[in-house]
Amino acid sequence: MATIMPALSNSPPPQPHQQHQSMSSGDSPNTIVAENWCLTQIKVIKFSYMWTISNFSFCREEMGEVLKSSTFSAGTNDKLKWLLRINPKGLDEESKDYLSLYLLLHKCETKGEVRAKFKFSILNAKREEVKIMESQRAYRFVAGKDWGFKKFVKRDLLLDESSGLLPDDKLTIYCEVNVVTEAKEYSGQVSPFQSRVPTCRLPDDLEDIFRSQEFSDVTIYANGREFKAHKAILAARSPMFRGMFSHEMRETKFNRVEVTDVDSDVLEEMLRFIYTGKSTLEQRLQSKEHKDQKEQEKEQHLAVELLQAANKYQLDRLKLICEEALYKTLSAESVAEILSLADLYNAAQLKNQAIEYISTHATEVIETDGWNRMVRETPHLVAEVFRALAHQIPGVGPIRKRLKHS
């Protein structure tokens, strides 16, 4: 168990650390030029959590025994799960007259080690922060590892009514966490004839604000999950959202959007595309790694679900990415179902490609269950296929050439 043992004060350092980083791209004088350069950018996500314990004076835990909070994270997209734990009567003999307080990394799905700074405080009846303690550097966490303060606050002071730390016998602990997510390096060379304009980071910056949920003004709900978002970005990227927020609709009044026809994982992927112009599907299409049958089926399922969402929210580029992904899965067994989907969601290029595929593989396709189902349920598509066979409509060419950048 890792502990931080400061003296009791407003901001005691767990271990003194005098080095501060304050370098920014604009700090160097313009008269100094180097032929080679490197920028290291450390990304940090900040979030907070409040834990209230009612009837605190009745806690029966003995020295060393623990109370734990529920788990919390930076948002629904975060793979790190944290919790707070306290020892109401101290961690050990040395701290038995104190309340001990720790931040614990409960679950870490992405990587083995995380660095984070944290701040603890107690909120009084006016929701004001008192008894503040914070770490002065980022500590290394792994799953099951905790850092905190063995002597966070004296029990005598805490239980003293005049201190105001336990209004109505409720202890309210407020915690702020700053997690270092990654460090990116950008480097290059400069000649006197080159412009030193940095690479555009707009997609990365917008992805950061989506993950951190800072300044969000609307919440989107789907399948029990919620996503904090920004109306301006959604409206700028999707005509569907623009129309929703431009009128006095329920979504505008309550800043709440209920999505019932899109799976939460698919919605998350769609929102990521809205913010960044990037899609997991497109990355997989560009990858040259071999994919087994299970991976291919997973990719096809995601493409179908995203196609529906992209069509509804009028995201034309995402729709074309889905069309290309489904085009690559065409087979005698799947083409009839894909043609029906393309017709349903107005995917013109995919529809043409599916019809062309059927016209060149007609003997195999008409023996499949998918074809027989299409004959029963969507006979107008069968008529279109026969017209293509009669006129021998040429293909429209690869879909990727028609993709446009957002």
Average pLDDT, the chain: 84
The b-or-e profile of 286-309 (16+ CB within 10 A means b, else e) is eeeeeeeeeeeeebbebbbbbbbb
Mean pLDDT (whole number) for 146-173: 93
CATH code at 330-392? 1.25.40.420
Mean pLDDT (whole number) for 151-159: 93
Distance CA 66, CA 87 (A): 5
Per-residue model confidence (pLDDT) at position 37: 85
Distance CA 243, CA 117 (A): 42
For residue range 174-188, what is the model confidence (pLDDT) as tens digits? 999 999 888 788 888
Starting at the earlier edge strand, list the strands of the sheet with 98-108: 67-68, 80-87, 98-108, 146-154
Closest CA to 181 of 77, 57, 103: 77
Closest CA to 132 of 153, 161, 158: 153
Q: Regarding predicted confidence, which is higher, 406 or 182?
A: 182
Q: Regarding predicted confidence, which is higher, 345 or 60?
A: 345
* 303 close to 284: Cβ distance less than 8 angstroms: no
- DSSP annotation string for 127-168: S-EEEEEE-SSPEEE-TT-EEEEEEEEEHHHHH-GGG-SSGG
Distance CA 334, CA 339 (A): 9
* 263 close to 305: Cβ distance less than 8 angstroms: yes
Residues 6+ apart with CB under 8 A from 92: 63, 64, 150
Beta bridge partners of 49: 175
| Residue in this structure with the two tokens 């026809």, named with its chain if needed | 261
For residue range 266-290, what is the model confidence (pLDDT) as tens digits? 999 999 999 999 998 888 877 767 7
Q: Regarding predicted confidence, which is higher, 8 or 400?
A: 400
C-alpha torsion angle, residues 347, 348, 354, 355 (rounded to 10): 140
What are the extents of the domains in the chain?
A: 42-185, 200-321, 330-392
Looking at CATH, the fold of the domain delimited by 42-185 is given as 2.60.210
For residue range 93-151, what is the model confidence (pLDDT) as tens digits? 999 999 999 999 998 876 678 899 999 999 998 889 988 999 989 999 998 999 999 99
CATH class for the domain made up of 200-321:
alpha beta
For residue range 317-352, what is the model confidence (pLDDT) as tens digits? 999 999 999 998 899 999 999 999 999 999 999 999
CA distances from 338 to 138, 239, 282, 308, 365 (A): 51, 26, 19, 12, 12
Q: Decide if pLDDT at 18 tops 60.
A: no
Exposed/middle/buried for residue 180 (C-beta within 10 Å: 0-12, 13-18, 19+) = middle
Amino acid in position 383: A
